[in-house]
């Protein structure tokens, strides 16, 4: 049993939730204003506060700030019917124990509250929080959008980590919004009034990347006509965001590690270190552990970066957010004006069914094309063009990311196939396509083909026969080329 203070100015909601809590043997005290809640909290022992965000005079965020200032230390769950990313981040940053979106059916809120109440009862001392006063942002101020549980977890983790002045590693597939997470961390941190300097590690060759990061002295090399400060110096007292850090060359990885450890940079052509006070946020879509095993990423730098990590879920794992994202993109495409095309339910269904190998970035491009193709007041399924990632890949035109995107689409297809065992299904298709490609494109003898594929000749013969590819493989390369013409 828990002693719960319920603060909400909506009588029906307050009565319904209080009744549900009483049925579970909890002791409930209700207040209809945040001011009355503060008085009640100071007068009686409370295990947990359930707090509405939008109330007259004092909001839920202001209540959280007041609780933190008074050092009351009681776990507070912020509840809201109107969600946006800034509310979740600010609430967590101000010390909220949990963040809950009110459902349309009040009884469904207990699904979220019951595990929270169990955790709150076990708490003996709440963590300290750093108050960062900031007005609640409009929901259109950012593209970190979502009501799904994975995204709410991300927003709360941003709220916890933005006040800790350490390096953070942001992981996620291409197009998931890692740069937006970095900006959200900076905007809600004590450094928010200082520079935010982004840097894409794939945008420059190694020597230019070195110059971009650390700068150079006058006459340091041919063409260096004047002193140039690097991005570390420009970000002093603020935040430097290193996007795609997994692609950074090994030599610069060593330099980055020294900066993270010593807080000093040395310009090209100089021996004098310069002190910098910079918080580094790094992001990558690559498997850094795999790169470490391959010797392409320094293990010591990996350990230095991975201490605090945020994992961004791909869009296919948060499909309940697709409608919110689509509405946001359409508003932005139309300049915030009303009267533009809306999504027909069948078009929305097609968006939700698609596996989104390109994630949010691909969704934005699809909707941009749809607005141009739409000839009425609603976007229809035939207006949706998913782009090159939905088309077959031409030979020689596939990079690693495009290949992985298609592989993820294949996995999503297999998961929806209704088959109980997915691996045999995927293995058979992958094996068939690999053998078909090898026998038609490589022009190799059976011995060379066996070596190229890394399988025994007897196994190769059996597999070719299984997929009816043996005859094609046995023909000379010239004959196959003639047939293909």
DSSP one-letter string for 206-267 = HHHHHHHHHEE-TTSSTT--S-EE-HHHHTTTSEEEEETGGGS-HHHHHHHHHHHHH-EE--
DSSP one-letter string for 89-107 = HHHHHTT-SEEEEPPSSGG
| Tokens 């090898």 -> residue | 438
Show the domain range for 346: 317-390
Instruction: Assess if residue 407 is contained within a domain.
Output: no
Q: What is the CA radius of gyration of the chain?
A: 28
| 22 and 118 together in one domain | yes
Instruction: Assess if residue 400 is contained within a domain.
Output: no
Residue 131 CB: number of other CB atoms within 10 A?
14
| 357 and 468 together in one domain | no
Instruction: Assess if residue 48 is contained within a domain.
Output: yes
Model confidence, pTM: 0.62
Instruction: Assess if residue 396 is contained within a domain.
Output: no
In terms of Cα–Cα distance, which of 261, 207, 253 is closest to 230?
Answer: 207
Domain end, chosen from 390, 406, 425, is at 390
| 297 and 329 together in one domain | no
| 275 and 172 together in one domain | yes
Residue 309 CB: number of other CB atoms within 10 A?
13
Domain end, chosen from 105, 136, 154, is at 154
Task: Tell me how many degrees the CA angle 15-18-20 measures, rounded to the nearest 5.
Answer: 110
CATH number, residue 188 = 3.40.50.300
| 208 and 243 together in one domain | yes
Q: What is the pLDDT of residue 397?
A: 44
CA distance 343 to 345: 6
| 375 and 425 together in one domain | no
| 141 and 186 together in one domain | no
Q: How far is CA 393 from CA 364, 397, 406, 483, in A?
A: 22, 7, 9, 22
Chain centroid offset of residue 358 CA: 13
| 21 and 142 together in one domain | yes
Instruction: Assess if residue 300 is contained within a domain.
Output: yes
Domain end, chosen from 311, 339, 357, is at 311
Number of domains in the chain: 4
Q: Which two tokens stand for residue 158?
A: 């941003």
Q: How far is CA 113 from CA 34, 103, 149, 335, in A?
A: 20, 12, 14, 39
Residue-level pLDDT, tens digit, the chain, 485 residues = 778 889 988 888 888 888 888 888 888 899 988 888 888 887 878 888 898 888 888 888 898 888 888 777 788 888 888 777 788 888 888 888 888 888 888 778 888 888 888 877 765 333 333 333 343 444 444 557 788 888 999 999 999 998 888 999 999 998 899 999 999 999 999 999 999 999 998 877 788 888 889 888 888 877 777 888 889 999 999 999 999 999 999 989 999 999 999 999 999 998 899 999 999 999 999 999 999 999 999 999 999 998 799 999 999 999 999 998 998 888 888 776 666 788 898 999 999 988 898 899 899 899 988 888 887 788 888 888 887 544 434 344 445 555 666 676 677 667 766 677 778 878 877 887 787 777 765 456 778 777 777 888 888 888 877 777 764 445 444 444 443 44
| 223 and 181 together in one domain | yes
Q: What is the pLDDT of residue 244?
A: 93
CA distance 326 to 312: 19
| 16 and 135 together in one domain | yes
In terms of Cα–Cα distance, which of 106, 6, 88 is closest to 47?
Answer: 6
| 31 and 71 together in one domain | yes
Q: What is the pLDDT of residue 258?
A: 92
CATH number, residue 88 = 3.40.50.2300
Q: What is the pLDDT of residue 236?
A: 93
CATH number, residue 339 = 1.10.8.60
Instruction: Assess if residue 77 is contained within a domain.
Output: yes
Instruction: Assess if residue 402 is contained within a domain.
Output: no
| 439 and 369 together in one domain | no
Instruction: Assess if residue 455 is contained within a domain.
Output: yes
């Amino acid at each position: 049993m828990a002693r719960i203070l319920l603060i909400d100015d909506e009588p029906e909601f307050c009565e319904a939730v209080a009744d549900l809590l009483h049925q579970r043997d909890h002791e409930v005290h209700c207040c209809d204003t945040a001011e009355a809640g503060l008085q009640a909290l100071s007068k009686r022992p409370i295990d947990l506060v359930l707090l509405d965000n939008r109330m007259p005079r004092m909001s839920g965020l202001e209540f959280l700030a007041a609780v933190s200032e008074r050092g009351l230390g009681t776990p507070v769950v912020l509840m809201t019917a109107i969600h946006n990313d800034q509310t979740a981040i600010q609430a967590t940053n101000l010390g909220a124990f949990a963040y809950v979106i009110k459902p349309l059916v009040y009884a469904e809120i207990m699904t979220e509250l019951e595990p929270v109440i169990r955790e709150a009862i076990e708490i003996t001392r709440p963590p300290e929080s750093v108050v960062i006063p900031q007005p609640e942002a409009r929901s259109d101020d950012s593209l970190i959008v979502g009501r799904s549980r994975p995204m709410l977890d991300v927003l709360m983790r941003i709220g916890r980590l933005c006040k800790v002045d350490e390096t953070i590693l942001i992981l996620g597939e291409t197009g998931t919004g890692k740069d937006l997470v970095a900006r959200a961390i900076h905007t809600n941190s004590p450094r928010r009034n200082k520079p935010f300097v982004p840097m894409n590690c794939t945008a420059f060759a190694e020597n230019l990347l070195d110059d971009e990061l650390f700068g150079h002295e006058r006459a340091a090399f041919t063409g260096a006509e004047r002193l140039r400060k690097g991005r570390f110096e420009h970000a002093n007292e603020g935040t430097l965001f290193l996007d795609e850090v997994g692609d950074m060359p090994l030599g610069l990885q060593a330099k980055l590690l020294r900066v993270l450890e010593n807080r000093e940079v040395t310009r090209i052509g100089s021996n004098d270190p310069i002190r910098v006070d910079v918080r580094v946020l790094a992001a990558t879509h690559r498997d850094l552990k795999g790169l470490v095993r391959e010797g392409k990423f320094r293990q010591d730098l990996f350990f230095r970066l991975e201490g605090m990590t945020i994992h961004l879920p791909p869009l296919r794992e948060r499909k309940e957010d697709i409608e919110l994202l689509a509405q946001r993109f359409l508003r932005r495409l139309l300049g915030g004006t009303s009267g533009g095309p809306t999504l027909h339910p069948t078009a929305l269904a097609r968006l939700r069914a698609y596996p989104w190998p390109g994630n949010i970035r691909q969704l934005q491009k699809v909707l941009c094309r749809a607005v141009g193709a739409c000839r009425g007041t609603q976007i229809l399924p035939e207006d949706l063009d998913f782009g090159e990632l939905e088309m077959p890949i031409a030979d020689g035109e596939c990079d690693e990311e495009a290949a992985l995107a298609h592989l993820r689409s294949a996995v999503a297809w297999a998961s929806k196939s209704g088959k109980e065992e997915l691996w045999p299904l995927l293995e058979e298709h992958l094996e068939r396509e690999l053998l078909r490609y090898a026998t038609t494109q490589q022009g190799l003898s059976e011995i060379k083909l066996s070596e190229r594929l890394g399988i025994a000749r007897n196994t190769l013969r059996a597999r070719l026969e299984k997929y009816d590819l043996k005859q094609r493989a046995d023909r000379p390369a010239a004959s196959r080329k003639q047939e293909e013409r």
